[in-house]
């Protein structure tokens, strides 16, 4: 996504339309992104529980991973994930890796 230039922004940091937060993403300051290795994930839900931003999404469905079948999968909504790394820290199977963001 390309953001507007200094000269293109409304004067005085005004947000000129109401309700714009509905389509604003808030992940611009992330330097590391969590990546979940689905193979190692045991569906313990700890990352989902600990994420302070609520940006880990619990997806329902039928997911065949290796020899197992799960009815849930954890995904990260990168539009809002701040890259704090709490999920990676809490994951008991080290299924989450923090990977550098490239500009």
Partner 1 sequence: MMVQKTKQVEALTSNYAAAYAVKAVDVDVIAVYPITPQTTIIEKLSEFIANGELNAEIIHVESEHSALSAVVGASATGARVFTATSSQGLEFAHEVLHIASGFRLPIVMAVPGRALSAPISIHGDYSDVMNARDTGWVIYIAATAQEVYDTVIQAYKLAESVLLPVMVAYDGFLMSHTMEPVELNDEEEVRSFVPRAARPYTLNPRRPVTMGPLASPDWYYELKYQQVLALREAYKAAAEVDAQYGRRFGRRYGLVEGYRMEDADYAIVVYGGAAYGNAREAADRAREAGIAAGVVRVRLYRPFPTEEVLKALEGVKAFAVVDRAIMFGSPAEGPLYKDIATAMYIHGVDKPALNVIHGIGQRPIYVEDMYKIYAALRENPRRGVVFMGVRI
Please give the residue ranges that form the binding site for partner 1 (CB under 8 A). 3-7, 9-18, 20, 26, 28-29
Q: How many residues bind ligand SF4 (CB under 6 A)?
A: 27
DSSP secondary structure letter of residue 3: P
Interaction of residue 53 with ligand SF4, rule CB under 6 A:
yes
The enclosing H or E element of 56 equals: strand 56-65
Give the shortest CB-96-to-ligand SF4 separation in angstroms.
5
Q: What distances in angstroms separate CA 103 from CA 30, 31, 34, 78, one per listed residue?
A: 10, 9, 16, 14
From ligand SF4, partner 1, none, interface partner of 14 (C-beta below 5 to 8 A by class): partner 1
Give the separation between CA 75 and CA 77, rounded to whole angstroms.
7
State which residue, 63 or 84, has the beta carbon closest to ligand SF4: 84
């Amino acid at each position: 996504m390309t953001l507007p230039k200094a000269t293109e922004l409304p004067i005085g940091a005004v947000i000129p339309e109401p309700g714009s937060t509905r389509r604003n993403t808030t992940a611009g300051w992330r330097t590391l992104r969590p990546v979940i290795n689905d193979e190692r994930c045991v569906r313990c839900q700890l990352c989902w529980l600990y994420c302070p931003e609520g940006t880990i999404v619990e997806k329902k469905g039928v997911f065949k991973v290796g020899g197992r079948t799960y009815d849930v999968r954890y995904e990260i909504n990168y539009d809002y994930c701040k890259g704090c790394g709490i999920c990676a820290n809490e994951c008991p199977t080290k299924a989450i890796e923090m990977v550098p963001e490239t500009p």
